[in-house]
Chains A and B, each alone.
Chain A
């Protein structure tokens, strides 16, 4: 029983980050209509930037953290400005294909720059666990949950209450009418793309010390984010959050009782079943 609760807690920790990744992808799809195949690479690049800062340049952790996020934002901006922007008026598959190319490019660049051996980043906070009754959680993981929670709630508040947030929602609902009402759709697109990438980058930075860092770790993130997006409904913010948590918890439980390799496949199976059973719910976001 205690084991179960422990797995639940671990699942929530992972689920929080999954929620962030999922929201990043689903917003980009919902607002921009882009299936971003290079989504996971934002996670990977951020993790590697953190590694570079913390291990190679020996910067204090917070500096590495800032470097990772800033670097990710800059790269996202450059990509959106230089490449994605030209594709908005083309059929939606153009974006998909371009991001496939980007994904391949980034993975192999990372391989070239940092090499393929898995890297590890030491925990920034001393590892001794905190006990909540019979359950254990490390301060690092607790912090991850808190940060994820804060970011998601903050984002939700921002989208509801601020002018720019409302502009984003308006663009999501109807791009042309929003433009007719004075919303600068190009800026919204830029913002959403960079924001989505940053959310994923944040997840990458938070999880990097827990898992090892490899150039192709982004692929699993992309797969997972797609599953989360589909389960929650592509374009559906709340759906992605809930799906992220649910999948995080499910994974934690199945990994504990069934063993690791099948997670991606199981996730996809669930996504496919959902896609087949509930077309109406999904097209609400499309």
Chain B
């Protein structure tokens, strides 16, 4: 009964939201929230599950965005083709990046990962003929439905439903993956690498697997983003996105499934409710990061759970 509720509740919330807040702006927020949920979950796979602080995580978001965008602009491909293609680009990039960075450990991994994202950013900034340079890539075709008798461009609400359908589906897949035999092996590595390795769980393979799945999520977000905004700037490779992802994961609770989702919701919706300007939002984010690291190192979700005081000591998964 509970299990069924866990799946139904998010779906119900997603469906109800546009009915409660139908404005175009609320829909836009809804779309961005979905994207951030995907990005935060992607970051959580790295930070929380395999234990690698991927400071270059936004590279996969950017690759997805530019991949889909470039195919749309240069080759005129429609979105049903560019979305999967963008995802493939992101995952391919992750594979290549992983081959390089997964050899490094600790602080070196962090810096290597950041470095490669910066290289991508510099490439996007300077290859003006290809990517549009600092002015970005514009003119990406918006999402249209061209099926038989139906021909129309998606409006805000359409985008909202589409992105959430994709997001919920992916989240379900990731959830099942994490609770599967393979996924628990990965968790074992994060908790105690030596012990896990001793029972045959291969770190290199698991790390690459985690990286690819996280790149899938980020790539989906990126590809959708490209078609939604119809414009991609080289700044998608910038560290600002990564930092926001990290904060969402930290505050929500890394190594929990719901944590990053909660973090994404809080940080996308709360500033709007409080009507704070962008600067204050970042100041709050920064301060909150520090406070969470200092006082609530496991994040909000575990803290909230500890308040419930149920039969003690459940596992790390919700």
Task: List chain A positions with a Cβ less than 8 A from chain B.
Answer: 29, 35, 83, 86-87, 90, 92-94, 96-98, 100-109, 111-112, 219, 223, 226-227, 230, 234, 261-262, 264-266, 268-269, 271-272, 275-276, 282, 286
Contacts and interface: CB of A to CB of B under 8 A. Distances in A.
A83 B286 CA distance: 13
B263 to A, nearest CB: 13
Contacts of B243: 100, 104
Contacts of A98: 289-290, 293-294
A272 B288 contact: no
Given A98-B289, A101-B286, A104-B282, A276 B100 contact: yes
Contacts of B290: 83, 98, 101-102, 105
A29 B107 CA distance: 10
A276 B108 CA distance: 10
A227 B53 CA distance: 18
Interface in B264-291: 279-280, 282-283, 285-290
Task: List the 3 closest A-B pairs by CB distance, nearest first.
Answer: A101-B289, A105-B286, A268-B115
Contact of A265 (B100, B122, B280, B288): B122
A93 B255 CA distance: 14
B112 interface: yes
Interface residues of B, number: 38
A117 to B, nearest CB: 14
A104 B285 contact: yes
Interface string B164-202: 000000000000000000000000000000000000000
B112 A275 contact: yes
Nearest to B119: A265
A94 B111 contact: no
B34 interface: no
A111 B114 CA distance: 24
A219 B119 CA distance: 15
A28 to B, nearest CB: 12
Contacts of B115: 227, 265, 268-269, 271-272
The A contact surface, by secondary structure, is helix
Given A101-B288, A102-B286, A264-B122, A92 B100 contact: no
Interface of B: 53, 100, 103-104, 106-108, 110-112, 114-116, 118-119, 121-123, 125-126, 239, 243, 246-247, 250, 279-280, 282-283, 285-290, 293-294, 297
A108 B283 contact: yes
A83 B294 contact: yes
10 contacts: A90-B297, A97-B53, A97-B289, A101-B288, A104-B285, A107-B282, A109-B283, A227-B115, A262-B126, A272-B100
A42 to B, nearest CB: 16
Nearest to B109: A275
A217 to B, nearest CB: 14
A156 B174 CA distance: 53
A223 B108 CA distance: 13
Contacts of B114: 223, 226, 268
Contacts of A219: 239
A266 B123 CA distance: 11
B112 A272 contact: yes
A96 B110 contact: yes
Nearest to B281: A108
Contact of A101 (B53, B106, B287): B287
Contact of A111 (B118, B279, B293): B279
Contacts of B294: 83, 86-87, 98
Contacts of A86: 294
Contacts of B104: 275-276
B279 A112 contact: yes
Nearest to B285: A104
Nearest to A103: B286
Contacts of B282: 104-105, 107-108
B100 A264 contact: no
B283 A105 contact: yes
